[in-house]
Structure 1
């Protein structure tokens, strides 16, 4: 029997996912969590074989949560299950230690097979996303550029960004200019949107 931890902030999604997976004779849901903190606690207590992790969680993203779950329960394998099929998320998830990455619109049978493969020590990646990741390349943005583009998504002015990150306005403009160039866009708002679509921020 493969034991499972389901992590998703939507109770209805968790319930549906659990019901589908428990139709399989060799899969058993032993714990559920609605956020990253609860996921870490549940992983430490239940020591599940596989954790199915969403990316969008209320307290922190599922990629950061993956690292914490693996620290709490080293024998657990993490399978990212998300609606956000973005190449940057795939790379970040695998770098964080995830064993697989599938999208939520996959058939139930495919998800069950992905769980079994991950449990067996194999890697599972959505084929279309793997292809996109291969051709889109790695995230070209620096950590500082990522931080500033996140603030740009909030509609923050350069002066406000500078105050938030404790840099001069000129330095912030330089970082934003670099990010705009790397994303082949015309302004910081466009750069932030492109970076988000690719899963870089």
Structure 2
């Protein structure tokens, strides 16, 4: 029996996934979580074989949770299951130690098979997303440019961003300018949008 942990902030989606996977004779959902933090805590408690993590959850997202699980419960394999099939997310998930990455509209039979393959130590990647990742390439943004664009998502002035990030206004302007150039954007808002679409944030 393969023991599963499901983490998704949408209870309806989580419940539907649990119901589908529990129909399989060799799969058993032993724990559910609505945040990345709860997923890591549940994994410590229940020692699942495979954790299915949503990418975007409040607080600690699925990508950060995958990295935390690798350290906290190294025997637990990770399969990212997400609505957001963005190329940058796939690359970051693999860097965080995930064994697979599929989108939520994957048919139930394929999802169950993906769980078995990840449990067996194999890689499972949505083929369309894999092709997109190769064409998009790695994020051109530095870590600090990524931080500045993330902070810029909510708007605010350069002074607001500088206070939030504990940087000088000049440094924030320089990082924003570099990020705008690297994303081929015309404005800060467009740079944020393009970086989000590529899964770089």
In the superposition, the TM-score normalised over structure 2's length comes to 0.97
Paired residues in the alignment total 201
What is the match of residue 44 of structure 1?
44
Provide, for residues 108-160 of structure 1, a one-character-per-residue CA deviation record: whole Å limited to 9, x for no partner.
11101100100111000010100000010001101111111112211111121
CA RMSD of aligned residues (A): 1.0
Distance 1:139 1:118 in 2: 26
Counterpart mapping for 1:164-183 below 5 A: 164-183=164-183
What is the match of residue 127 of structure 1?
127
Unaligned stretches of 5+ in structure 1? Answer: none
Displacement of 1:59: 1.6
What is the match of residue 196 of structure 1?
196
Distance 2:119 2:55 in 1: 20
Distance 2:38 2:162 in 1: 34
Distance 1:32 1:181 in 2: 42
What is the match of residue 20 of structure 1?
20
Provide, for residues 19-42 of structure 1, a one-character-per-residue CA deviation record: whole Å limited to 9, x for no partner.
101111111111111112211111
SS class of match (1:140): coil
Q: Does 1:94 align with 2:89?
A: no
Distance 1:200 1:158 in 2: 21
Q: Does 1:109 align with 2:121?
A: no
Displacement of 1:93: 0.6
What is the match of residue 80 of structure 2?
80
SS class of match (1:138): coil
In the superposition, the TM-score normalised over structure 1's length comes to 0.97
Distance 2:167 2:29 in 1: 48
SS class of match (1:32): strand
Unaligned stretches of 5+ in structure 2? Answer: none
Q: Does 1:9 align with 2:12?
A: no
For residues 29 and 135 of structure 1, do their structure 2 counterparts lie closer, same or farther at Cα, with a shift above 3 Å needed? same
Counterpart mapping for 1:129-144 below 5 A: 129-144=129-144
Distance 1:162 1:50 in 2: 40
Provide, for residues 167-195 of structure 1, a one-character-per-residue CA deviation record: whole Å limited to 9, x for no partner.
33222211111101110110111001100
